[in-house]
């Protein structure tokens, strides 16, 4: 009887952790929270001890944050060995940043297959509590791409995702959702496909956390040398350079060296994304190996780097000085005054013009009366100088916005003028590229089109789907879900009004 019970228990354990249904393409069937697998081994297993450990590690870490951060590369060993370096990486994240998703990507240590496992079953649990998984997005990836699946055999005892989560729970001030991804292949062709699938989410409102240790088991001195070479290759932002460096490291036959980058698949995937983007800068923030720890020896060590990936804003971004903003507001008001007085257009105001105001540029002019909208019309085209666009849109907002009666002359003194100078539009491939409050949207299908300025999202407090739905239905006339098969463009705006001056 005891043997039967033992066998039954073992079979249930095997089926639920290692065997049956180890690969799933059907998405999230039922919520099954992922319990800690390495708590008490890689990091303290109770909340109080873990909090204390993290506080100590962050106190020892390199200071942050790093502006324009898009991703970090951090180690995944036991905290007593790699925790200080990991904390240096997490310290680069602005603690008050609100992220839509945090993609945690690491290599599989327990299974190999041609793809990646995405956890879509429930949330991750740590001694610090629940880390919410974006199961909807995880399931979407699994359903959409054949190289994504959920693999129980890869996830059950994997540590490289789990050990990163307490750092996020301790450091970030706002709730966040994670997308846990374990890569089971080193095939560059498959890694390119994974990178292509994830690239639409590589935006400022998401963060990528790449989980990897560096050299395994050379001597202390050899680890320092080989880890430096590997980190320098990563900082070139070239996946091929990194692959060549890993091959070169292997050919050196360094005693004890079994790998110089255990999470190479995750790092190469990241570089396949970043190498195609402008303004990327990769910096090595911190380094240690296990030989630096009082718990490690000097003969067989493991290396750890913390590396940041940032994306600089476009250096060619158009900007306006305060004087230029005041002059445009003056041009807008004078344009309306001139029309009331003479019924004619404003002549070219040479005394107010600078080279920036002579550049072709789109703009919207918005009129408010006692805080209420009184007119708003704009022009996207870059066929006229900015000053002329502003002068014409001021008249159009005053007299041609069909939502309102034409402005009366006695109202003008009660009107406040706001101008939104537009950057060139660009078509997006995913709505994840839209940053609420930063991007305006232009939705187009056939002859139907509509737009919302960036400030609409801020003023209304809408979610991304509400922003798109209202624009699609109320502006473009395509219905609430019409944006889903329409062309979507984004643009930015330099917004200023008379109250500021």
Going by pLDDT thresholds of 50, 70 and 90, the confidence category of residue 30 is low
pTM (predicted TM-score): 0.64
Measured over the CA atoms of residue 137, residue 165, residue 85 and residue 117, the dihedral's sign is negative
Chain segment 272-316, per-residue pLDDT in tens: 999 988 889 999 999 999 999 999 999 999 999 999 999 986 545
The CATH number covering residue 349 comes to: 3.30.700.20
**Cα maximum dimension of the chain:** 104
* Number of compact structural domains in the chain: 2
Domain end point (choices 274, 289, 311):
311
Q: Which helix (H) or strand (E) holds 116?
A: strand 116-118
Chain segment 190-221, per-residue pLDDT in tens: 999 999 999 989 988 899 999 999 999 999 99
Average per-residue pLDDT in the chain? Answer: 91
The radius of gyration of the chain from alpha carbons, rounded to an integer in Å, stands at 28
Which pLDDT score is estimated for 458? 87
Best mean pLDDT range from 21-30, 100-109, 304-313, 434-443: 100-109
**Residue keyed to tokens 């200071």:** 63
Residues 113 and 229 in one domain: yes
Residues 66, 295: contact at Cβ < 8 Å? no
Q: Helix 386-399 crosses helix 322-342 at what angle (to 10 degrees)?
A: 50
The CATH number covering residue 41 comes to: 3.40.830.10
Which pLDDT score is estimated for 383? 80
Phi-psi region of 10 (alpha: psi -120 to 50; beta: other; left: phi over 0): alpha
Domain end point (choices 244, 276, 311):
311
pLDDT at 15 exceeding the cut of 70: no
Measured distance CA(471)–CA(440) in Å, rounded: 10
Burial zone of 68 (CB within 10 Å; 0-12 exposed, 13-18 middle, 19+ buried):
middle
Instruction: Domain of residue 339: give its range.
Output: 322-500
Chain segment 171-191, per-residue pLDDT in tens: 999 999 999 999 999 999 999
- The closest of 86, 148, 124, 443 to 286, measured between CA atoms, is 86
Residues 477 and 351 in one domain: yes
Measured distance CA(336)–CA(331) in Å, rounded: 9
Residues 274, 237: contact at Cβ < 8 Å? yes
Domain end point (choices 248, 283, 311):
311
Which pLDDT score is estimated for 312? 80
Could you give the residue ranges of the DSSP H alpha helices within 23-133? 47-60, 79-90
Chain segment 466-500, per-residue pLDDT in tens: 999 999 999 999 999 999 999 999 998 899 999 98
Residues 348 and 290 in one domain: no
> For residue 106, what is the DSSP state?
E
Q: Tell whether 152 is covered by a domain.
A: yes
Which pLDDT score is estimated for 17? 33
Q: Find the range with the poorest average confidence among 66-80, 287-301, 373-387, 474-488.
A: 373-387
Q: Tell whether 9 is covered by a domain.
A: no
Give the mean model confidence (pLDDT) for residues 225-245.
97
Chain segment 410-464, per-residue pLDDT in tens: 999 999 999 999 987 888 888 988 989 889 999 999 999 999 999 999 889 999 9
Residues 307 and 408 in one domain: no
Tokens describing residue 469: 């739905």
Residues 340 and 268 in one domain: no
Distances (CA, A) of 313 to 238, 277, 278, 329: 20, 12, 9, 27
């Amino acid at each position: 009887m005891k043997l039967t019970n033992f066998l039954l228990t073992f079979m249930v354990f095997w089926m639920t952790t290692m065997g049956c249904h180890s690969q799933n393409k059907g998405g999230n069937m039922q919520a099954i929270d992922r319990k800690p697998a390495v708590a008490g081994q890689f990091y303290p297993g109770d909340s109080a001890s873990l909090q204390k450990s993290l506080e100590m590690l962050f106190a020892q870490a390199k200071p942050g944050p790093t502006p324009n951060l898009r991703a970090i590369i951090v180690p995944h060993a036991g905290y007593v060995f790699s925790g200080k370096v990991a904390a240096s990486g997490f310290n680069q994240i602005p603690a008050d940043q609100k992220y839509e998703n945090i993609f945690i990507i690491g290599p599989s240590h327990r299974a190999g297959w041609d793809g990646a496992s995405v956890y879509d079953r429930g949330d991750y649990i740590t001694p610090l509590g629940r880390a919410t998984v974006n199961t909807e997005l995880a399931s979407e990836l699994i359903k959409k791409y054949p190289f994504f699946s959920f693999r129980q055999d890869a996830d059950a005892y994997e540590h490289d995702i789990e050990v990163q989560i307490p750092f996020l729970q301790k450091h970030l001030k706002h709730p966040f959702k994670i997308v846990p991804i374990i890569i089971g292949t080193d095939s560059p062709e498959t890694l390119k496909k994974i990178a292509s699938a994830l690239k639409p989410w590589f935006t400022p409102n998401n963060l990528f956390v790449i989980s990897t240790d560096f050299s395994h088991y050379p001597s202390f001195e050899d680890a320092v040398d080989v880890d430096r070479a590997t980190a320098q290759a990563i900082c070139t932002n070239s996946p091929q350079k990194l692959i060549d460096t890993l091959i070169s490291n292997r050919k050196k036959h360094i005693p004890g060296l079994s790998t110089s980058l255990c999470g190479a698949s995750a790092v190469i995937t990241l570089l396949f994304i970043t190498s195609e983007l402008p303004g990327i800068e990769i910096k090595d923030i911190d380094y240690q190996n296990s030989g630096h720890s009082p718990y490690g020896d000097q003969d067989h060590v493991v290396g750890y780097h913390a590396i940041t990936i940032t994306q600089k804003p476009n250096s060619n971004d158009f900007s306006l000085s305060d004087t230029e903003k005041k002059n445009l507001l003056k041009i807008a008001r004078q344009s309306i005054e001139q029309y009331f007085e003479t019924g004619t257009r404003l002549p070219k105001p040479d005394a107010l013009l600078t080279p920036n105001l002579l550049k072709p540029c789109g703009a919207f002019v918005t009129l408010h009366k006692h805080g209420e909208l009184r007119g708003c019309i704009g022009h996207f085209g870059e066929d006229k100088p900015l000053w002329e666009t502003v002068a014409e849109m001021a008249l159009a907002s005053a007299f041609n916005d069909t939502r309102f009666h034409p402005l009366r002359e006695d109202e003008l003194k009660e009107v406040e003028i706001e101008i939104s100078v537009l950057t060139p539009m660009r078509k997006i491939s995913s709505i994840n590229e839209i940053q609420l409050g930063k991007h305006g949207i232009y939705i187009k299908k056939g002859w139907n089109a509509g737009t919302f300025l960036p400030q609409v999202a801020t003023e209304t407090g809408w979610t991304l789907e509400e922003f798109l739905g209202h624009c699609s239905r109320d502006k473009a006339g395509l219905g609430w879900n019409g944006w889903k098969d329409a062309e979507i463009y984004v643009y930015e705006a330099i917004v200023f009004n008379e109250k500021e001056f």
